C-alpha cells in the first residue's frame, strides 16, 4: 500500500532545533529538574524523540482517532520508519499492516427503519424516525406486522410472597407489546418495587428478555410519567436502552409518550389513570388493544470501521530465533474528543502527546537502538526475534492488541514476553511505575538490574492486568512489563500536547526498555510465567472522576466488568455495600474480595440505577 509522504526524522529534527533558541527549548526545559534547557535535547536520541513526537502529536493528524485519516498518517509514518531501520515489514501480504475492523456507534437510517400504526378503522399512521420513534440497539433487527397489546410495565415478578405479572392472562405471542419504562411506584413499604432504588425488573434488558420469553413479536417502549415530566417529548437515542443484541431479542422501539396517550385514549383508556391504578393497587392493568396493530422494521446498523496494527520484525539468530519478544505501544488517541474526552462539550483536536505518542516514539527509539547495536556487533545479534508492534483502537478497549493475540502473526506459544509503553512522556521526580513485575519469576530481579545506572524511583506493580495493551498478552499466559510515567491534568484533554513532554524522561525509559528487551532476547531460558500476578482484584475498567461516583470510560476485555455487562458511561455508585465517591473508595472496597467471589456493583446508567453481578475470575 502506498505510504504517506511526510518529512523524514532528520528534517523534522532540524526544524525543531531551528526554533529551539526562542521557543521550543524553554518550554521543554521548564519541565526538567535541571534548569538548563540545552540538556533537553542533549543527545541524538532526544532529538529523534522530539522530532517524532512533534509529528505524531501535531494538528495535522487530528488526534489519531481510530476511524480517521490521521490514524492512517500515523500508521504510514511508523511503517516507513520500520522500513528505514531495516526491520522486516512484509508480514501481512507484503505489508506491515495487520488489518481488522472495529464497530462504530449504532445508527439508524430512515430508509430501512419504519414504524406504522393501524387503527381499528383501517387508518394508517406512519411515525417519523427520530421525532416520533427510534429503533433501539438493545433489540434485534427484523420486520413485524402484529396486533397491538398494552402490557403495563412489562414486568413479571415471581418473588416469594409477592406476585406481580403484567403478562398474567395476556396472550402476546406474535404480537407487538406496548410497555411503560421503569416500574410501579407503590406507597407500600414492601415488595420488589418498594424504596427509592429500582428493582431488577425496571431494567430495559429485563423488559426485553421478558417480552421475548412470552413470544412477543416486537417491544414498543414509552416514558413513564416521571421521565416525561423531566424531559417532555424526549425519545431515547438508538443506543439509549443499551447496545447489546445478544440473547433473546426482538425488534425494539421507543416512541413518544404523547402518541401512546392518544392511542390509548381512542381505545377508551387513560395512560395517567392506568399508572395511578397500578401504583395504588399493585395490580396489572394490561389489555389487548382490539383492532389496533403495528408494523415496522428495525435495522440498527453497527458500522464497521477498518483499523490496523503496524508490525516490524528483527529476526533472531540461532536455535532460539523462532521465539519472540514483543515491544508494543498503541498509537491511536481520541481525535476531536467526544465520548473519549475528559473535557466535556469540547470539540477540539486532542493531540495525545503523552497518550500515546510518547509510547510510540519510545518504541521507535527502542527499535533503532537495538537494530543499530545488532548491526555494529553482528555476532551479538539477539538470539530471539524481536517484534515491534504498534496497536490501534486501544482507546476503544484494547481492540488492536486483543485482535493480535487472537490472530497472531507468529505462534503465540513462542512469544516469551511483551513489553508495553503507554504514557511515558510526563516523568516527574524520576518516578516510574512498572506493572507486571510479578508476571515472571525473573522479572523483579531483572528490573532491579536494569535500574542500577538509571536510578529511577520505581513503583512496582506485580499484576499483569490493567488498562493497556499488555493485559491482552498477560491473559494469554505471556509475561509482561508495562511502563507508565503517571496521570496528569491534561489526560484525555486537548492540552495533552508535545510542548509538555519530558523528552529526557522518555529517553531514560527507552534505555531501560532496551536493556530489558536485549536481556530477554539473549537469555538461554524464556521467562517463567506466573499467573498469580492477577490476584489483585480489579473491575477491568478505565475510569474518570464523576459527580457523584466514578464514570466508566471504557471496559476492558477479559475482566469482571465485561462479564457483568458494564458499559461505557456507567457511573459506579457502590461496590458491594460500599459507597464509591472516588478511586480510593473503589480500591478499598475491592480489597474485601478474592478470585472466585461473587461481586455486586451498583451503577447508574442514564436515569436508571442498576445492580450488576458476576463472579470474579480466577
CA distance 415 to 393: 22
Tens-place pLDDT, residues 179-196: 999 999 877 667 778 777
Residue 174: band (very low, low, confident or very high) from pLDDT cuts 50, 70, 90? very high
Q: Is a pLDDT exceeding 90 seen at residue 91?
A: yes
CA distance 57 to 50: 10
Does 3 fall in a domain?
no
Q: What is the DSSP string of 212-263?
A: HHTT-SEEEEE--HHHHHHSTT----TTTT-S---SS---EEEE-HHHHHHH
Q: Which of 532, 551, 570 is the last residue of a domain?
A: 532
Give me the CATH number covering residue 442: 3.40.630.10
CA distance 45 to 299: 53
CA distance 161 to 150: 26
Tens-place pLDDT, residues 507-523: 999 999 999 999 999 99
C-alpha cell, 7: 518529512
Report whether 157 contacts 200 (CB < 8 A): no
In terms of domains, do 429 and 455 share one? Answer: yes
- What's the pTM value of the predicted model, to 2 decimals? 0.71
Residues ≥6 apart with Cβ < 8 Å to 587: none
CA distance 510 to 518: 12
Report whether 614 contacts 540 (CB < 8 A): no
In terms of domains, do 555 and 415 share one? Answer: no
C-alpha cell, 552: 466508566
In terms of domains, do 360 and 490 share one? Answer: yes
Residue 428 carries which DSSP code?
B
In terms of domains, do 129 and 242 share one? Answer: yes
Give me the CATH number covering residue 149: 3.50.30.30
In terms of domains, do 450 and 318 share one? Answer: yes
CA distance 190 to 238: 35
Does 363 fall in a domain?
yes
Does 354 fall in a domain?
yes
What pLDDT score does 608 carry?
78
Does 349 fall in a domain?
yes
Exposure of 188 in the CB half-sphere (CA atoms within 13 A) = 12
In terms of domains, do 236 and 324 share one? Answer: no
Our count of domains for the chain comes to 3
Give the domain extent around 587.
537-615
In terms of domains, do 521 and 595 share one? Answer: no
C-alpha cell, 523: 537469555
Report whether 254 contacts 240 (CB < 8 A): yes
Across the beta sheet with 415-421, the strand order is 97-108, 300-314, 385-391, 324-330, 415-421, 480-484, 431-435, 457-461
Highest mean pLDDT among 30-39, 40-49, 241-250: 40-49
In terms of domains, do 264 and 384 share one? Answer: no
Residue 95 carries which DSSP code?
B
Residue 466: band (very low, low, confident or very high) from pLDDT cuts 50, 70, 90? confident
Tens-place pLDDT, residues 265-291: 999 999 999 999 999 889 999 999 999
CA distance 357 to 253: 42
Report whether 513 contacts 368 (CB < 8 A): no
Report whether 331 contacts 64 (CB < 8 A): yes
Tens-place pLDDT, residues 354-366: 999 999 999 999 9
Does 343 fall in a domain?
yes
In terms of domains, do 541 and 515 share one? Answer: no
Residues ≥6 apart with Cβ < 8 Å to 276: none
In terms of domains, do 417 and 283 share one? Answer: no
CA distance 486 to 493: 15
In terms of domains, do 135 and 93 share one? Answer: no
CA distance 59 to 104: 23
Does 2 fall in a domain?
no
CA distance 465 to 423: 16
In terms of domains, do 191 and 256 share one? Answer: yes
What pLDDT score does 546 carry?
65
Which whole number is the average pLDDT over 28-52? Answer: 64
Amino acid at each position: 500500500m502506498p505510504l504517506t509522504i511526510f518529512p523524514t526524522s532528520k528534517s523534522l529534527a532540524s526544524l525543531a532545533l531551528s526554533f529551539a533558541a526562542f521557543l521550543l527549548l524553554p518550554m521543554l526545559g521548564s519541565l526538567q529538574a535541571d534548569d538548563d534547557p540545552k540538556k533537553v535535547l542533549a543527545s541524538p536520541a532526544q532529538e529523534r524523540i522530539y522530532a517524532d513526537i512533534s509529528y505524531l502529536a501535531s494538528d495535522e493528524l487530528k488526534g489519531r482517532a481510530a476511524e480517521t485519516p490521521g490514524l492512517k498518517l500515523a500508521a504510514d509514518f511508523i511503517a516507513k520508519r520500520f522500513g528505514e531501520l531495516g526491520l522486516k515489514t512484509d508480514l501481512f501480504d507484503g505489508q506491515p499492516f495487520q488489518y481488522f475492523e472495529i464497530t462504530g456507534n449504532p445508527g439508524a437510517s430512515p430508509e430501512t427503519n419504519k414504524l406504522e400504526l393501524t387503527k381499528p378503522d383501517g387508518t394508517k399512521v406512519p411515525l417519523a424516525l427520530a421525532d416520533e420513534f427510534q429503533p433501539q440497539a438493545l433489540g434485534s433487527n427484523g420486520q413485524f406486522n402484529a396486533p397491538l397489546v398494552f402490557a403495563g410495565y412489562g414486568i413479571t415478578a415471581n418473588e416469594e410472597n409477592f406476585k406481580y405479572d403484567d403478562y398474567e392472562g395476556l396472550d402476546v405471542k406474535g404480537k407487538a407489546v406496548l410497555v411503560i419504562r421503569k416500574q410501579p411506584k407503590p406507597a407500600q413499604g414492601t415488595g420488589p418495587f418498594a424504596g427509592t432504588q429500582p428493582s431488577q425488573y425496571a431494567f430495559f434488558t429485563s423488559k426485553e428478555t421478558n417480552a421475548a420469553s412470552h413470544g412477543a413479536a416486537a417491544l414498543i417502549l414509552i416514558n413513564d410519567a416521571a421521565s416525561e415530566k423531566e424531559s417532555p417529548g424526549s425519545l431515547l437515542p438508538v443506543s439509549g436502552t443499551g447496545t447489546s443484541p445478544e440473547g433473546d431479542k426482538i425488534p425494539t422501539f421507543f416512541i413518544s409518550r404523547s402518541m401512546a396517550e392518544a392511542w390509548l385514549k381512542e381505545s377508551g383508556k387513560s395512560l395517567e389513570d392506568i399508572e395511578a391504578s397500578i401504583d395504588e393497587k399493585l395490580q396489572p392493568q394490561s389489555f389487548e388493544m382490539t383492532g389496533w396493530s403495528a408494523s415496522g422494521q428495525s435495522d440498527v446498523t453497527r458500522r464497521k470501521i477498518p483499523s490496523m496494527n503496524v508490525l516490524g520484525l528483527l529476526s533472531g539468530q540461532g536455535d532460539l530465533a523462532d521465539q519472540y519478544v514483543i515491544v508494543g505501544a498503541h498509537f491511536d488517541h481520541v481525535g476531536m474528543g467526544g465520548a473519549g474526552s475528559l473535557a466535556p462539550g469540547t470539540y477540539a483536536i486532542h493531540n495525545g502527546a503523552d497518550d500515546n505518542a510518547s509510547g510510540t516514539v519510545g518504541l521507535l527509539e527502542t527499535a533503532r537502538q537495538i537494530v543499530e547495536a545488532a548491526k555494529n556487533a553482528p555476532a551479538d545479534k539477539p538470539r530471539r526475534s524481536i517484534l515491534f508492534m504498534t496497536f490501534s483502537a486501544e482507546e476503544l478497549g484494547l481492540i488492536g492488541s486483543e485482535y493480535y493475540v487472537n490472530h497472531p502473526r507468529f505462534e503465540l506459544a513462542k512469544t516469551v514476553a511483551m513489553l508495553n509503553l503507554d504514557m511515558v512522556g510526563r516523568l516527574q521526580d524520576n518516578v516510574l511505575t512498572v506493572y507486571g513485575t510479578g508476571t515472571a519469576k525473573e522479572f523483579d530481579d531483572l528490573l532491579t538490574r536494569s535500574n542500577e545506572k538509571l536510578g529511577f524511583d520505581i513503583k512496582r506493580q506485580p499484576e499483569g492486568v490493567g488498562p493497556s495493551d499488555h493485559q491482552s498478552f498477560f491473559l494469554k499466559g505471556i509475561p509482561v512489563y508495562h511502563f507508565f510515567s503517571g496521570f496528569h491534568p491534561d489526560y484525555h484533554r486537548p492540552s495533552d500536547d508535545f510542548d509538555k513532554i519530558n523528552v529526557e524522561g522518555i529517553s531514560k525509559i527507552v534505555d531501560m526498555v532496551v536493556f530489558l528487551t536485549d536481556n530477554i532476547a539473549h537469555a538461554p531460558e524464556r521467562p517463567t510465567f506466573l499467573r498469580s500476578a492477577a490476584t489483585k482484584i480489579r473491575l477491568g475498567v478505565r475510569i474518570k472522576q464523576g459527580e457523584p461516583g466514578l464514570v466508566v470510560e471504557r471496559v476492558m476485555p477479559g475482566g469482571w466488568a465485561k462479564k457483568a455487562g458494564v458499559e461505557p458511561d456507567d457511573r459506579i455508585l457502590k461496590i458491594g455495600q460500599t459507597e464509591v465517591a472516588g478511586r480510593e473508595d473503589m480500591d478499598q472496597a475491592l480489597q474485601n474480595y478474592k478470585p472466585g467471589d461473587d461481586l455486586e456493583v451498583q451503577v447508574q446508567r442514564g436515569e436508571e440505577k442498576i445492580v450488576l453481578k458476576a463472579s470474579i475470575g480466577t
